């Protein structure tokens, strides 16, 4: 409400009146409940009493378009007490209202057109002194701000990356004091506000930032623009929905190039660790984004930075860390990682990314070597046949060792025999004297050297004391190789060594571990250089797996005899065994906690060495494993030997083991798929609200589903969820294996019943690789309930006759609607022809309180004692309409016409061509019982009013409608028009007179006159309103 205060001292022509005006008042009489009326509080300070006042509104031409004046003081029925009290009471003036209200309606009943108007107030006292205020300005403005918001295509509404780094909002409209454009997230929270002051709404770009310049989260957003002008008019709703912001997120990366262990000791071997660095630097001219800061920090395990590389642009592709701190000191041994951070112009800061952990290790691996006996004689006599070497690592190195190697050297430095242990150094090593060709070494002195190189490049070399191989006292030696074999694919070889004499007979026997003879060979000839055995017993059967030994006996030509036994050897026909399994073959090592690793379950035999290699699709080994004994269960986290994440693709794990008998086992798990692709999903709801009532308007809610990765979905679920969290409808991969791009909901639950309320569409996707993605649509409303309306009016009988009592009808409108209203109207209809008499209407907001002065839209006042039907209608934006009907009962009106008070009552219904109230139950052609009852009520009310005017005589005039417009119809009975109008109206006036007498009106005050159709109130051409000519008027004469 606009309140302007008037202060006036009427004594000297209102010269001291003051208005606290700061500028024009704006109103918009459009019944939206906002600034609909001009409300002017009044205050008059006057020593005398005011006899008359008026509030006047003029247009720009100076023409009076509306006058609001004082109420008339009417005499009332006085008792004796009131009579004497009035004699001594001081004179009083007319009532001055506290507030004058102009609702924008002119005297002709029409709403004032947009424009500038001038209002003023004047008053007259009992001495006929008149004073007026100056004119003040009120501007009527029923024109809402205009907005044209261009709807982008759905593809254009997806932005945030590359060339689509901004969303362009194209809009235009009227010039207003303030336009406000707001972006909202999916739950309706404002994230960014744009304002245009004293301007049209301008085209602009949104880069996805909030009011603080911080980029919003990826998700679904909407944009709304609105303006409210000075008169309270609000622009029509304008919105862009389902805006998808997916920010450009340059992905930084850092990997180790090569070895993750290094030893910066200046020996030229692994003195530095090399990183491959990826810090994207967008082209600002093309994307609007650029790199503004980057940093690579080398940090220890506690997060302390020891070395920093940084800049603002041109990040390096490679960084070599030489083990020195920022102060050029060599960093302590230990584990470290490189951490990459970056900042971009668009505000995006990737999460700090750490490289694989690497190790700085300057300490060589150490071990001890102990020779048990300084001399041995591998002659098979069971005494010192083997050289026993004990060895052990002294401490665990920070870097692993994969090449422990033991070598037997002669004193000339020649390699006699080499033992490659790999990662596991055995605690005990036995040398049987055979060289690398399985030939017994010559008697002499030897040494054992243990060497190793760790992964950081540190090397070690441990030499044993010299030891001797001495077979000088042995006549016969029998060597055996290999120490184990599988008769199915190999044989064992025995090599005899005879020190003296010429053999003329020999015998070779093979005995089992219990001493039983399994095979023998005898020959009366010289001893061959070697004898092979295929593992078959003398009877041709294959010997069982186990430990065996050979005994050679010889007889020389000189008659001497000698024998020798070999070292034990083993028949082993059982290959290593391994069983492997994985619960899934697709995984995503992206750190989300879901399938970040692939667990490998292994059940293997115990072997000296098992290996596993992870191989990519190009047969390149990316990671290696080695175990001694049984292979444990393990997990592959998708990294290579350097700890870098492998590229997406297919991989296999290949297991292998070869035992001492050359039995081999191979197994593999193929088809392991690494998939680190980022998975995102969005769900958009097409409508803010919909009504599945089958009327063809917004019956279906359409959901659009977008995913960054469409393949590899194992399960999906889309649920319609209420605000309370209850799932009312659901779709899953059981209905459709493929995730649909569009899901339509008809508003029903699983039982086919329509559900109402606020809902969201909730999408859940599970990928084979382990990623789980959830997305929620914006909230929307499903309803089939039309607006709920109610009307209350007061007073019960409305009498707009300016007497100060019940002159205004107060109308309370209420409308509850689940969704916004499209329009509403309150229509009062003509009681006879049903045409619109008075109406108000609006759009989205219902005026809860209307005040009606009884004038129609054409300025005509309601008729006395009539029931005016009304219809209250509201339609929501979904097209659902509700209607409430009722009636407004008008009291008998006492209208001042000049100096005369008059009551015109068209609602008294007579029997056709008769002057009575006989009903159709009494005779044919009678009036209805309801009409008779209403007649009696009206006349009773007229009697009550007339008895308030005791000092007035009353002329009762009967009026009729002259259809033909001829005098003959007035004075002559005709077949066509019936009884003559003047005599008939006279009779009816007399009948009314008699009824008033019965209701207590003194007959001496009453005079009856029949006017016929001589004084019509509507033109003969206006057939719709002829009923107003048929009336009874009551003239009050002083």
Instruction: Identify the residue with better confidence: 109 or 61.
Output: 61
State how beta strands 531-533 and 492-498 pair. Answer: antiparallel
Predicted pLDDT of residue 65: 94
Summarize pLDDT for 272-309 with one digit per residue, the tens. 999 999 999 988 777 777 899 999 999 999 999 999 99
How many CA within 13 A on the CB side of residue 978? 14
Q: For residues 535 and 553, what is the distance between their CA atoms, to the nearest angstrom?
A: 20
In this model, does residue 248 exceed pLDDT 80? no
DSSP characters over 413-465? --EEEEEEEET---SEEEE-SB-TTS-BPPSEEEEEEEEEEBTTS-EEEEEPP
Which own/partner contact pairs does 526-532 have at CB distance under 8 Å and 24+ positions apart? 526/502, 527/496, 527/498, 527/503, 527/554, 528/496, 529/495, 529/496, 530/493, 530/494, 530/495, 530/496, 531/493, 531/494, 531/496, 532/491, 532/492, 532/493, 532/494
Q: For residues 894 and 886, what is the distance between their CA atoms, to the nearest angstrom?
A: 25
Summarize pLDDT for 840-878 with one digit per residue, the tens. 988 888 888 888 999 998 888 998 888 999 999 999 999
CB atoms closer than 10 angstroms to residue 16: 13
Rg (CA), the chain: 56
Strands (E) across 723-866 are located at 727-732, 742-745, 757-767, 772-776, 780-782, 788-794, 797-798, 809-816, 821-829, 836-842, 849-852
In this model, does residue 147 exceed pLDDT 70? yes
Instruction: List the CATH code of the domain at 253-360.
Output: 2.60.40.4070
In this model, does residue 5 exceed pLDDT 70? no
Burial of 895 (0-12, 13-18, 19+ CB in 10 A): middle
Summarize pLDDT for 761-786 with one digit per residue, the tens. 999 999 999 999 999 999 999 999 99
DSSP characters over 612-655? EEEEETTS-EEEEEEEEESPPPEEE-SB-TTSPBPPSEEEEEEE
In this model, does residue 86 exceed pLDDT 50? no
Q: For residues 53 and 95, what is the distance between their CA atoms, to the nearest angstrom?
A: 9
> Per residue, what are the HEC states of 840-883?
EEECCCCCCEEEECCECCCCCECCCCCEEEEEEEEEECCCCEEE
Q: Single out the residue of 877, 849, 689, 692 nearest to residue 787, CA to CA.
A: 877
Element holding 85 (H helix, E strand): helix 80-88
Predicted pLDDT of residue 85: 46
Q: For residues 698 and 690, what is the distance between their CA atoms, to the nearest angstrom?
A: 5
Q: How far apart are the first and last CA of the chain?
A: 43
Summarize pLDDT for 406-458 with one digit per residue, the tens. 999 999 999 999 999 999 999 999 999 999 998 999 999 999 999 999 999 99
In this model, does residue 81 exceed pLDDT 50? no
Class of domain 2-140: mainly beta
Q: For residues 488 and 466, what is the distance between their CA atoms, to the nearest angstrom?
A: 41
pLDDT band at residue 48, thresholds of 50, 70 and 90? low
Q: Considering all CA atoms of the chain, what is the largest pairwise distance in Å, rounded to the nearest integer?
A: 187
Distances, alpha carbon 352 to alpha carbons 247, 294, 571, 637, in Å: 17, 11, 59, 20
Q: Single out the residue of 305, 318, 311, 320 nearest to residue 270, CA to CA.
A: 320
Tokens of 214: 């911080």
Number of helices (H) and strands (E), helices first, in the chain? Answer: 5, 78
For residue 482, is the peptide bond before it cis, meaning its omega torsion is within 30 degrees of 0?
A: yes
**DSSP three-state, residue 11:** helix
Q: For residues 563 and 437, what is the distance between their CA atoms, to the nearest angstrom?
A: 24
Sorted by sequence, the CB contacts under 8 Å of residue 911 that are 6+ apart come out as 917, 918, 925, 926, 927
831: which DSSP letter?
T
Sorted by sequence, the CB contacts under 8 Å of residue 442 that are 6+ apart come out as 469
Between helix 981-998 and helix 929-946 the angle, nearest 10°, is 70
Predicted pLDDT of residue 849: 87
Q: Single out the residue of 1008, 319, 255 nearest to residue 644, CA to CA.
A: 255
How is domain 147-245 classified at the CATH fold level? Immunoglobulin-like (2.60.40)
363-470: CATH homologous superfamily?
Answer: Macroglobulin (MG2) domain (2.60.40.1930)
Average pLDDT over residues 639-652: 95
State how beta strands 664-674 and 586-587 pair. Answer: parallel
In this model, does residue 579 exceed pLDDT 50? yes
Element holding 54 (H helix, E strand): strand 50-58
Sorted by sequence, the CB contacts under 8 Å of residue 403 that are 6+ apart come out as 420, 422, 451, 452, 453
Give residue limits of the domains in the chain: 2-140, 147-245, 253-360, 363-470, 578-633+648-674, 681-782, 788-890, 895-1037
Do the domains 147-245 and 788-890 sit in the same CATH topology, yes or no?
A: yes
Q: For residues 18 and 16, what is the distance between their CA atoms, to the nearest angstrom?
A: 6
- Please say whether the beta carbons of 134 and 19 come within 8 A: yes
Summarize pLDDT for 666-719 with one digit per residue, the tens. 999 999 999 999 999 999 999 999 999 999 999 999 999 999 999 999 999 999
1024: which DSSP letter?
G
Q: For residues 174 and 381, what is the distance between their CA atoms, to the nearest angstrom?
A: 115
Tokens 């409608």 correspond to: 961
> Per residue, what are the HEC states of 503-531?
EEEEEEEEEECCCCEEEEEEECCCCCCCE
* One CATH from 3.40.50.300, 3.40.50.10800, 2.70.170.10, 2.60.40.10 for 788-890: 2.60.40.10
Tokens of 522: 């005898």
Sorted by sequence, the CB contacts under 8 Å of residue 1004 that are 6+ apart come out as none
Tokens of 980: 């003559």
- Please say whether the beta carbons of 731 and 738 come within 8 A: no
Predicted pLDDT of residue 365: 93
Q: Single out the residue of 12, 15, 45 nearest to residue 127, CA to CA.
A: 12
pLDDT band at residue 213, thresholds of 50, 70 and 90? confident
Q: For residues 28 and 228, what is the distance between their CA atoms, to the nearest angstrom?
A: 11
Average pLDDT over residues 881-904: 89
Q: Single out the residue of 103, 169, 191, 185 nearest to residue 142, CA to CA.
A: 103
- Please say whether the beta carbons of 783 and 882 come within 8 A: no
- Please say whether the beta carbons of 309 and 316 come within 8 A: yes
Instruction: List the CATH code of the domain at 681-782.
Output: 2.60.40.4070
Q: For residues 523 and 507, what is the distance between their CA atoms, to the nearest angstrom?
A: 7
Class of domain 578-633+648-674: mainly beta
Summarize pLDDT for 498-554 with one digit per residue, the tens. 887 788 999 999 999 999 999 999 999 999 999 999 999 999 999 999 999 999 999
* One CATH from 3.20.20.80, 3.30.379.10, 3.30.1330.60, 3.20.20.70 for 895-1037: 3.30.1330.60
Distances, alpha carbon 815 to alpha carbons 139, 346, 821, 886, 933, in Å: 29, 47, 9, 16, 35
1003: which DSSP letter?
G
Sorted by sequence, the CB contacts under 8 Å of residue 880 that are 6+ apart come out as 691, 693, 695, 784, 785, 786, 787
Question: Mean pLDDT, the chain, as a whole number?
Answer: 90
Q: pTM of this prediction? A: 0.73
Burial of 211 (0-12, 13-18, 19+ CB in 10 A): exposed
What is the dihedral angle through the alpha carbons of 582, 588, 590, 594, rounded to the nearest 10 degrees?
-60
Tokens of 823: 């329009």
Average pLDDT over residues 1009-1032: 89
Q: For residues 784 and 781, what is the distance between their CA atoms, to the nearest angstrom?
A: 10
Summarize pLDDT for 315-355 with one digit per residue, the tens. 999 999 999 999 999 999 999 999 999 998 877 788 899 99
DSSP characters over 955-1000? EEEEE---SS--HHHHHS-BTTTBS-HHHHHHHHHHHHHHHHHHTT
Element holding 116 (H helix, E strand): strand 115-125
């Amino acid at each position: 409400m606009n309140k302007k205060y008037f202060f006036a001292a009427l004594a000297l022509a209102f010269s001291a009146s003051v208005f606290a005006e700061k500028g024009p008042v704006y109103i918009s009489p459009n019944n939206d409940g906002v600034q609909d009326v001009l409300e002017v509080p009044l205050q008059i300070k006057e020593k005398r009493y005011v006899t008359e006042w008026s509030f006047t509104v003029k247009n720009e031409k100076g023409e009076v378009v509306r006058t609001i004046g004082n109420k008339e003081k009417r005499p009332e029925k006085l008792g004796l007490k009131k009579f004497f009290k009035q004699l001594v009471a001081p004179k009083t003036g007319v009532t001055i209202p506290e507030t004058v209200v102009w609702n924008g309606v002119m005297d002709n009943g029409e709403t004032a057109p947009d424009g500038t108007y001038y209002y003023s107030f004047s008053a007259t006292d009992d001495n006929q002194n008149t004073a007026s205020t100056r004119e003040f300005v009120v501007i009527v403005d029923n024109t809402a701000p205009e907005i044209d918001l261009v709807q982008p295509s759905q593809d254009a509404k997806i932005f945030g990356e590359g060339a689509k780094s901004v969303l362009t909002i194209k809009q235009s409209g009227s010039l207003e004091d303030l336009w406000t454009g707001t972006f909202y997230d999916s739950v309706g929270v404002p994230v960014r506000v744009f304002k245009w002051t004293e301007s049209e709404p301008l085209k602009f770009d949104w880069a996805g930032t909030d009011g603080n310049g911080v980029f919003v989260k990826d998700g679904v957003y909407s944009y709304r623009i609105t303006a409210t002008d000075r008169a309270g008019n609000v622009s029509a709703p304008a919105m862009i929905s389902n805006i998808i912001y997916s920010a450009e997120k340059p992905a930084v990366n850092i990997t180790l190039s090569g070895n993750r262990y290094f030893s910066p000791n200046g020996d030229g071997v692994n003195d530095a660790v090399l990183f491959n660095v990826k810090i994207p630097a967008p082209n600002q001219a093309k994307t609007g984004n650029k790199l503004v800061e980057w940093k690579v920090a080398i940090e220890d395990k506690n997060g302390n930075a020891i070395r920093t590389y940084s800049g603002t642009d041109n990040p390096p592709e490679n960084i070599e860390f030489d083990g020195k701190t920022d102060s050029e000191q060599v960093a302590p041994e230990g584990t470290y990682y490189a951490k990459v951070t970056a900042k971009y112009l668009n505000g995006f800061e990737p999460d700090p990314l750490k490289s694989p952990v690497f190790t700085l290790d300057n300490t060589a691996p150490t071990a001890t070597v102990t020779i048990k006996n300084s001399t041995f004689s591998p002659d098979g006599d069971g005494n010192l046949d083997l050289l026993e070497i004990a060895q052990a690592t002294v401490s665990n190195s920070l870097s692993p060792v994969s090449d422990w190697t033991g070598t037997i050297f002669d004193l000339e430095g020649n390699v006699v025999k080499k033992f490659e242990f790999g990662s596991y150094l055995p605690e005990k090593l036995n040398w049987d004297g055979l060289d690398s060709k399985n030939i017994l070494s010559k008697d002499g002195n030897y040494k054992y050297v243990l060497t190793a190189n760790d992964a950081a490049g540190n090397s070690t070399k441990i030499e044993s004391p010299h030891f001797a191989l001495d077979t000088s006292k042995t006549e016969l030696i029998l060597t055996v190789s290999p120490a184990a074999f599988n008769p199915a694919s190999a044989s064992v070889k025995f090599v005899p060594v005879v020190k003296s004499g010429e053999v003329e007979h020999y015998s070779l026997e093979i005995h089992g571990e219990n001493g039983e003879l399994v095979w023998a060979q005898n020959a009366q000839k010289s001893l061959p250089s070697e004898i092979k055995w295929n593992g078959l017993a003398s009877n041709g059967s294959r010997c069982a797996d186990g430990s065996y030994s050979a005994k050679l006996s010889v007889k020389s030509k000189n008659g001497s005899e000698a024998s020798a036994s070999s070292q034990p050897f083993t028949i082993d026909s059982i290959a290593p065994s391994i069983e492997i399994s994985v619960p899934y073959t697709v995984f995503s090592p992206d750190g989300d906690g879901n399938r970040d690793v692939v667990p490998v379950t292994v059940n293997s035999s115990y072997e000296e060495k098992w290996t596993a290699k992870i191989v990519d699709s190009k047969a390149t080994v990316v990671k290696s494993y080695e175990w001694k004994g049984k292979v444990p269960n393990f997990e592959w986290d998708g990294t290579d030997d350097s700890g870098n994440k492998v590229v997406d693709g297919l991989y296999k794990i290949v297991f292998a083991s070869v035992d001492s008998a050359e039995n081999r086992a191979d197994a593999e798990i193929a088809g392991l798929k690494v998939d680190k692709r980022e998975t995102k999903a969005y769900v958009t709801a097409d409508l803010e609200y919909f009504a599945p009532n089958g009327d063809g308007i917004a019956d279906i809610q359409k959901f659009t589903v977008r995913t960054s990765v469409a393949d590899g979905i194992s399960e999906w679920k889309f649920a319609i969820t209420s605000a309370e969290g209850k799932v009312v409808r659901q779709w899953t991969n059981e209905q459709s294996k493929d995730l649909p791009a569009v899901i339509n909901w008809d508003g029903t639950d699983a039982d086919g019943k329509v559900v109402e309320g606020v809902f969201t569409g909730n999408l859940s996707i599970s990928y084979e690789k382990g990623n789980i993605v959830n997305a929620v649509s914006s909230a929307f409303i499903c309803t089939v309930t039309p607006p709920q309306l109610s009307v209350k009016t007061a007073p019960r009988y409305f009498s707009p006759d300016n007497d100060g009592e019940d002159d205004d009808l107060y109308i309370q409108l209420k409308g509850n609607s689940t969704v916004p209203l499209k329009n509403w109207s309150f229509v009062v209809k003509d009681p006879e022809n049903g045409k619109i008499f008075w109406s108000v209407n609006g759009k989205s907001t219902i005026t809860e309180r209307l005040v009606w002065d009884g004038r129609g839209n054409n300025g005509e006042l309601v008729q006395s004692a009539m029931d005016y039907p009304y219809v209250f209608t509201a339609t929501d934006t979904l097209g659902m309409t509700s209607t409430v009907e009722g009636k407004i009962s008008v009291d008998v009106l006492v209208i001042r016409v000049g100096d005369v008070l008059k009551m015109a009552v068209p609602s008294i219904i007579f029997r056709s061509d008769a002057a009575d109230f006989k009903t159709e139950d009494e005779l044919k052609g009678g009036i209805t019982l309801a009409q008779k009852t209403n007649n009696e009520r009206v006349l009773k009310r007229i009697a009550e009013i007339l008895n308030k005017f005791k000092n007035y005589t009353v002329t009762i005039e009967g009026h009729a409608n002259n259809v033909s417009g001829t005098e003959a119809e007035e004075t002559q009975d005709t077949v066509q028009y019936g009884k003559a109008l003047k005599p008939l109206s006279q009779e009816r006036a007399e009948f009314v007179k008699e009824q008033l007498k019965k209701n207590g009106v003194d007959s001496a005050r009453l005079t009856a006159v029949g006017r016929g159709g001589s004084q019509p109130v509507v033109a003969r051409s206006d057939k719709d309103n002829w009923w107003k000519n048929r009336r009874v008027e009551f003239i009050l004469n002083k």
